[in-house]
Amino acid sequence: MGRDQPLRYAGIEAGGTKFVCMVAAGPDDVGAQAKFPTTTPEETLGRAVAFFKAHEPFAAVGIGTFGPCDFDPASPTYGHIKTSIKRGWEVVDILGTFRRDFPVPIGIDTDVNVAALGEWKWGAGQGLDVVLYLTVGTGIGGGGVMNGRMMHGLIHPEMGHIRVPRISSTDEFAGICPYHGDCLQGLAAGPAIQARWGKPAEELPPDHPAWEMEARHLALGISNYICVLSPRRIILGGGVMQQRHLFPLIRKEVKRLLNDYIPSPMILERIDEYIVPPRLGDQSGILGAIALAQQTA
């Protein structure tokens, strides 16, 4: 690689439905990209390794992965996906697979932390000290970047699993979370909408009462995240948030719930700029993986 060329990085967005692989220096300098469905670990990781072999060299690898996954560098199973939800992926050493083939630094984190990093680096969260990224789709997951670092602690955030009040005390929908029943994910993820109304979310028209209810559930979660984390911006992605008419409903309900208690003009006057879609569109995750590779290098 010549001196004048910018360093390239490898990024992997490892999802339960599809994998995205990219070699890039940044959003405006993408060398190559591939997408393929998540099938068996052997086939899927084999395709990813083959893609990157064909596009060497790169300075580092960043992986944003579905989970649960072990992100504790001190653990013997660091970088292993351990999930009971996706068949065949009960224990898969995703980090080790790439380590065997690519002798460069490799970073790995949750899909949502990595998407938050992408939006912080190049998208709607640029320059902000606390950025929250929430995905609402098959599940609900939240990630964050605080002072330039992805959120970690005992493990990593599992924001979809907070408990929120019911909209109505007579609501008898049990929720679909296998662990918690009616946690936020159990009430408001895509499969919960489908279970409650008998149709996939994308088939419900914008004036269906499902959306008002969805906005109220999500607003309860978001107003709780505001009270706990005080984010500078909240970015909402994922399949359900493709329903753009949800945004004004959510913003209005968050304002109602907070009731002018948080004395910031971002909430009191400019909530349209506070709760926003990803600026990187559907590329937050894969560009976040490139950003993670840069941080890791």
Residues forming contacts to a copy of itself in the complex (CB under 8 A) are 68, 129-130, 142, 146-147, 149, 151-166, 169, 179-180, 182, 220, 223-232, 257, 259-264, 266-267
Instruction: Tell me whether residue 59 or residue 130 sits nearer to a copy of itself (CB atom).
Output: 130
Q: Cβ 96 to a copy of itself, closest distance in Å?
A: 19
Q: Which is nearer to a copy of itself, 24 or 226 (CB)?
A: 226
Roughly how many angstroms between the first and final C-alpha of the chain, as a whole number? Answer: 16
Least Å distance, CB 23 to a copy of itself, is 31
155-186 burial, b if ≥16 CB within 10 A, otherwise e? ebbbbbbbebeeeeeeeebebbbeebebbbbb
Q: CB of residue 141 vs a copy of itself: minimum separation in angstroms?
A: 11
- From residue 134, give the alpha-carbon distance in Å to each of 67, 144, 155, 223, 283: 16, 9, 17, 13, 14
Q: Torsion-angle region of residue 183: left (phi > 0), alpha (psi -120 to 50) or beta?
A: beta
Q: Least CB distance from residue 80 to a copy of itself, whole Å?
A: 12
Task: Pick the closer one to a copy of itself by CB: 49 or 266.
Answer: 266
Listed residue (153, 126, 98, 89) closest to 235, CA to CA = 126
Tokens of 151: 């959120």
In the complex with a copy of itself, the residue whose CB is nearer, 31 or 165, is: 165
- Residues ≥6 apart with Cβ < 8 Å to 100: none
Between 57 and 181, whose beta carbon lies closer to a copy of itself?
Answer: 181
Nearest distance, CB of residue 143 and a copy of itself, angstroms: 11
